[in-house]
Amino acid sequence: MKKFDIIVVGGGHAGIEAASAGARMGCSVGLVTMDRFALGRMSCNPAIGGTAKGHLVREIDALGGIMGLISDRTGIQFRMLNKSKGPAVWSPRCQSDRKLYSEEAYRIIFPTQNLEIVEESAIEVLVENGKVVGIKAQSGEELFCEALILSSGTFLNGLMHTGLNKTSGGRFGEQPALGITESLAKLGFEYGRLKTGTPPRLKKDSINWAILEEQPGDENPQPFSHQTDLSQFPFLPQVSCHITYTDPTVHKILEKGFAQSPLFTGLIKGVGPRYCPSIEDKIVRFADKERHQLFLEPEGLDSDQIYLNGFSSSLSAEIQLEALHKIVGLEEVEMVRPAYAVEYDFFPPQQVDLTLETKLIEGLYFAGQINGTSGYEEAAAQGLIAGINAALKIQGKPEFVLKRSEAYIGVLIDDLVTKSTDEPYRMFTSRAEHRLLLRQDNADRRLMKYGYEFGLIPKDLYDEVDNREKTIISGINYCQSKKYYARDVNEFLVNSGSNEIDSTETISKLCKRPEFNLKQLLEFNGASSESGAVALLNDEKALEQAEIEIKYEGYILRQYEAVAKLEKYESTKIPLNFDFTKIKQLSTEGREKLNKVKPRSIGQASRISGVTPSDISILLVYLKN
């Protein structure tokens, strides 16, 4: 009889984070997956990060997760998105080598102490007296555990569609996971159906690259991981992506296939992602648009396949190819594999708590697409949190919950639990109320203390971040007190295209002018020799952080004030087993929603759709009494 502290089902991005974290925190972990060489396999786009998703990867890394490390070692193009906007929305992204990404995931996971890979398919969750005790595998073997994390991706009763052809499977060439949904339904869980899709893969040598718009990576790329050795980064040769567009001719060809589209004929029952629609969905929903942008992205350095980002579809292969041949640069393209849609089961996430433990069964955790999310990054973030909390529970330690004001991961999980979702959930910067505080560049300052506490971050790295924090604080204090006299600085100001000052001005105030960066002001007039300036100038990261905090000081202070105002609601706790049905003064909908979500605090309760301000006032009075 095999027994583990934690069993993780699924070897995707959520599964490997959960398994890695649990094992490194000292628990014995069994990672159950159909294929050990498919760990971290990129089912769709061979890329990590992007708008808001890049923030998640930086946070995962600061907490001690492995996604950033894998991405840095296998990235073939790195770009910082939204650099023309404010730092709150700067988002790192990398194009990855699909094959190498999975190999690197295996290289990290396989030798991890306390972790065993079990090549099996789970078909049943075993429960005794309301507590999880293990799983039953397809082979008939039973594996036992104290905690079980389900991170099954798109494999639960997975069904793939191309035109009117449908095939069972959670990913091209791979079998679906059968039995788990039915097992959970018997235990009383609600479930639904979602849809996602993937674009066609094109033969590299059949594309006319000469007439396409090139999109190179950054000249000085930045890694995701705080642990990556900058002297060796980037590790792989860097390549360009390319851009092309659809046009009305392409749209008319695609429309010919609508009669046999599983999306429009009702064959697909699952709800698709609103923010990443298929090409046929775009044509219908955005009928006024004459063209849609497409990105041609390499699948790897040694791959002859190109991923056509923006052309996700479930139309027939014949229609797809006919339309592709009318796109600039693809006139003679060969399609290696057509696009397809995949339907899969998910469990509406109001059924989990903020720790990602299910409310119905003790010791059972859900992470990733099983909770209704889309994207590798959202899945990895959940896997990490589930793995940490499963380990903490087994060790008898306090649970770990991130606030919305602390991390995008906190926003992600609070949104899922509090608001639930009936469509694939994707992270955006606009979902975070305090996004200027939650920048990708300060993830280490915000979260590394937790990763270190859990034993997932090495001491030398934590000490480095701690010492830098002191440098940042002392540097900002120096800039707020160091003054330049008009007679010394005015010529410099005028030559820089700025206005003169009347008497004196601090470095801090001058730095708020868009004409200057902090380094220029620190180096002016010999200030660079003073101790307050020297420390900042000798630490590029500290200099960057100090400059952002100085330039955006007013906005940042307002966000901190907003967080403080909300804190009284967040700190007003509600007992875990509180029965909201007893409070007859609450609205009917409020009682129903509160009892369903079982919020941890008044703050969380106030974010539940259908719970009114009046309900919150009544709840506050009741709790006080």
CB 28 within 8 A of CB 5: yes
Q: Which of 320, 341, 362 is the last residue of a domain?
A: 341
Q: Are strands 504-506 and 483-485 parallel, antiparallel or unpaired?
A: antiparallel
Question: Listing from the earlier edge strand, what are the strands of the sheet with 213-215?
Answer: 213-215, 241-245, 293-298, 305-309, 201-203, 335-337
How confident is the model at residue 43, as a pLDDT? 86
**Residue 287 belongs to some domain of the structure:** yes
**Residue 252 belongs to some domain of the structure:** yes
What's the token pair of residue 423?
């469509």
**Residue 97 belongs to some domain of the structure:** yes
Angle at 591 between CA 590 and CA 597, to 5 degrees: 85
Based on the domain organization, do 80 and 182 belong to the same domain?
Answer: yes
Based on the domain organization, do 168 and 254 belong to the same domain?
Answer: no
Based on the domain organization, do 108 and 174 belong to the same domain?
Answer: yes
Q: What is the 3-state secondary structure (H, E, C) of 249-300?
A: HHHHHHHHCHHHCCCCCCCCCCECCCCCCCHHHHHHHCCCCCCCEEEEEECC
Spatial distance between the Cα atoms of 179 and 535, rounded to a whole number of angstroms: 60
Domain that holds residue 327: 201-341
Q: Which of 292, 316, 341 is the last residue of a domain?
A: 341
Output the domain CATH number for residue 82.
Answer: 3.50.50.60
**Residue 562 belongs to some domain of the structure:** no
How confident is the model at residue 278, as a pLDDT? 86
**Count: domains in the chain:** 4
**Residue 524 belongs to some domain of the structure:** yes
Based on the domain organization, do 210 and 328 belong to the same domain?
Answer: yes
Based on the domain organization, do 369 and 488 belong to the same domain?
Answer: no
Helix axis angle for 553-571 and 540-551, nearest 10°, is 80
Based on the domain organization, do 350 and 322 belong to the same domain?
Answer: no
pLDDT tens digits, residue range 132-180?
999 999 999 999 999 999 999 888 988 888 888 888 888 777 888 889 9
Based on the domain organization, do 189 and 220 belong to the same domain?
Answer: no
Going by C-alpha positions, the residue among 215, 409, 452 that lies closest to residue 310 is 215
Query: pTM of the entire structure?
Result: 0.94
Report phi then psi at 269, rounded to 5.
-95, -25
How confident is the model at residue 527, as a pLDDT? 62
How confident is the model at residue 168, as a pLDDT? 87
Cis amide linkage into residue 277, ω under 30° from 0:
no
**Residue 164 belongs to some domain of the structure:** yes
How confident is the model at residue 350, as a pLDDT? 95
Based on the domain organization, do 355 and 318 belong to the same domain?
Answer: no
**Residue 565 belongs to some domain of the structure:** no
Mean pLDDT, consecutive 10-residue stretches, the chain (625 aa), reads: 95 98 98 95 93 97 98 98 93 97 97 97 96 96 97 89 85 84 96 91 97 96 96 96 96 90 71 76 89 96 96 92 97 95 93 97 97 96 98 98 96 95 92 95 98 98 96 94 91 91 93 92 76 88 96 94 89 88 89 90 91 91 83
**Residue 547 belongs to some domain of the structure:** yes
How confident is the model at residue 237, as a pLDDT? 97
How confident is the model at residue 265, as a pLDDT? 67
Locate all alpha helices (DSSP H) within 482-572, ordered by sequence.
486-495, 507-511, 518-523, 531-537, 540-551, 553-571
How confident is the model at residue 191, as a pLDDT? 95
CA 173 to chain centre: 26
Output the domain CATH number for residue 271.
Answer: 2.40.30.260
How confident is the model at residue 275, as a pLDDT? 65
What's the token pair of residue 321?
């190819």
Based on the domain organization, do 348 and 337 belong to the same domain?
Answer: no
Q: Which of 421, 453, 485 is the last residue of a domain?
A: 453
Based on the domain organization, do 226 and 241 belong to the same domain?
Answer: yes
How confident is the model at residue 72, as a pLDDT? 98
